């Protein structure tokens, strides 16, 4: 692959990776520790990812258990979870915090699928913007030492990449939607 095209391939891959990591934080009725990925705990004045202040386990299909390494952190972890947007109230027994995920209602599942599709569309727009930037950059090359045929080849290569990534985004949307709609 041409180095000039590889740059845009990397950018498109980053857009897809961002979408996939974003999808991991969407809960689908089952307990998934990735819903906690964006939560930060006040650990002695420093905002620290929740995974770095305790042990996170999934003892049951719809429960996440957090055992802070220091008992004094229980309140800080509980406060961080309450302040986050995961919408689950933590249960604290003094040594561990349990998050029990309720069954998703049909209405909530449909809302989540809409959100999944919206995020997917945003990713497609990002991929198309990268294609546009690539084509603009190639047109600037045309004014210098590169032939029109070479420019056309570069544009075709970027279009093939765009098609591939759009297809990957569609696949990710379908997979996550199926996961959310499965009861």
Question: Which pLDDT tens digit goes with each residue over 15-32?
Answer: 999 998 888 777 666 677
- SS3 state of residue 47: strand
Fold of 3-25+105-181: Topoisomerase I; Chain A, domain 4 (1.10.132)
In terms of pLDDT, which residue wins out, 3 or 158? 158
Exposed/middle/buried for residue 143 (C-beta within 10 Å: 0-12, 13-18, 19+): exposed
Q: What is the pLDDT of residue 182?
A: 77
- pLDDT interval class at 121 (50, 70, 90): very high
What residue segments make up the domains of the chain, in order of their start? Answer: 3-25+105-181, 33-100
In terms of pLDDT, which residue wins out, 156 or 4? 156
Q: What is the pLDDT of residue 127?
A: 93
Q: Please tell me the distance from the alpha carbon of residue 110 to that of residue 122, in angstroms, as a whole number.
A: 19
Give one word for 31, left, alpha or beta, with left for phi > 0 and alpha for psi -120 to 50.
beta
Which pTM does this prediction carry? 0.71
What is the dihedral sign for C-alpha 158, 163, 169, 175? negative
Q: What is the pLDDT of residue 183?
A: 62
Inter-axis angle of helices 3-24 and 106-142, to 10 degrees?
170
Per CATH, domain 33-100 is 3.30.1360.40: yes
User: Per-residue pLDDT tens for 33-86?
Assistant: 877 888 888 888 888 888 888 898 888 878 889 898 888 888 888 888 888 877
33-100 and 3-25+105-181 share a CATH fold: no
User: For 29, phi and psi rounded to 5 degrees?
Assistant: 90, -20
Sequence length of the chain is 183
Mean pLDDT over 124-136 rounds to: 92
């Amino acid at each position: 692959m041409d180095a000039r095209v590889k740059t845009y391939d990397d950018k498109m891959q980053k857009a897809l990776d961002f979408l996939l990591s974003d999808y991991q934080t969407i809960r689908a009725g089952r307990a998934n520790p990735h819903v906690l990925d964006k939560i930060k705990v006040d650990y002695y004045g420093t905002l620290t990812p929740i995974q770095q202040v305790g042990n996170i386990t999934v003892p049951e299909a719809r429960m996440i258990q957090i055992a802070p390494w220091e008992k004094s952190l229980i309140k800080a972890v509980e406060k961080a979870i309450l302040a986050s947007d995961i919408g689950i109230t933590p249960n604290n027994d003094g040594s561990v915090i349990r998050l029990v995920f309720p069954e998703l209602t049909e209405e909530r599942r449909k809302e989540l699928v809409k959100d999944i599709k919206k995020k997917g569309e945003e990713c497609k727009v990002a991929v198309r913007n990268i294609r546009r930037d690539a084509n603009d950059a190639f047109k600037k090359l045309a004014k210098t030492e590169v032939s029109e045929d070479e420019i056309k080849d570069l544009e075709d290569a970027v279009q093939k990449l765009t098609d591939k990534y759009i297809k990957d985004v569609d696949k990710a949307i379908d997979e996550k939607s199926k996961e959310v709609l499965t009861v």
